Structure 1
């Protein structure tokens, strides 16, 4: 299974935000959309960073509520790991596990085209395993 198959099913919509926005604006958007991460984009759909709930919690713990007035660029991860549509689920699981990421932007030709979460990946992997198990049961039943 490839990343493009996940995106074909779930869609390519990604919630993005401008790097000049405040952390308060980012928090509002995360809550409103009920998501765990937001991609920071620059002109032309280029990925400039990613801000996750974990980033916000760490900064809140270190600086207190006043951190909400800061630009989100002060808390975002600017060196963003990405995947591509041709990556397999196993490759993406390795990237997410190694980096301890729960969200991974999908990039094509340097531009954001989607985002996948660990939930998306686990769901697809479970479907694959169930399908393989059913094929084995069918094979045994007909052999």
Structure 2
């Protein structure tokens, strides 16, 4: 049985650090640092996904505009066209998309609302587990 996004979220939890689009970039940097995360999902008042702001976005903003951008609302520098997935997506499918598109965080959406977030670390961890389980099955088969 293939591991799905739903299985990962059921195990790790569904809480996601979010912020509104008006949040200053300096505050976003604090949120990233304090929570030891690489991305914050930007949401509207109805908890719909408006964008995502990552460590890469922070570095790009400072690189382009200097320190003066820190008072700018995150809306100006966030990624607006966010790839998102549903809970039924398999880890293998998601891993392929994340590799091809070069991103490390994917918000999970259910009925147009944020339902969780999957990081590349979550994908790798689940894939390692899957490989270990396959190895155990093979050992059992050979031994039995």
Paired position in structure 2 for 1:33: 35
The worse-fitting range, judged by mean Cα deviation, of 92-101 and 118-127 is: 92-101
CA deviation map 1:52-89 (0-9, x unaligned): 00011111111111111111011100000001100000
* Distance in 2 (alpha carbons) for counterparts of 1:107 and 1:119: 19
Paired position in structure 2 for 1:4: 6
Paired position in structure 2 for 1:75: 77
Paired position in structure 2 for 1:43: 45
Number of residue pairs matched by the alignment? 142
Poorly superposed stretches of 4+, deviation over 6 Å: none
Paired position in structure 2 for 1:114: 116
* Distance in 2 (alpha carbons) for counterparts of 1:80 and 1:35: 18
CA deviation map 1:4-54 (0-9, x unaligned): 000000000000001011101111111111100000000211000000000
CA deviation map 1:77-129 (0-9, x unaligned): 00000011000001111121121110000000110000010000000000000
- Name the TM-score, length of structure 1 as normaliser: 0.97
| Gap runs ≥5 in structure 2 | none
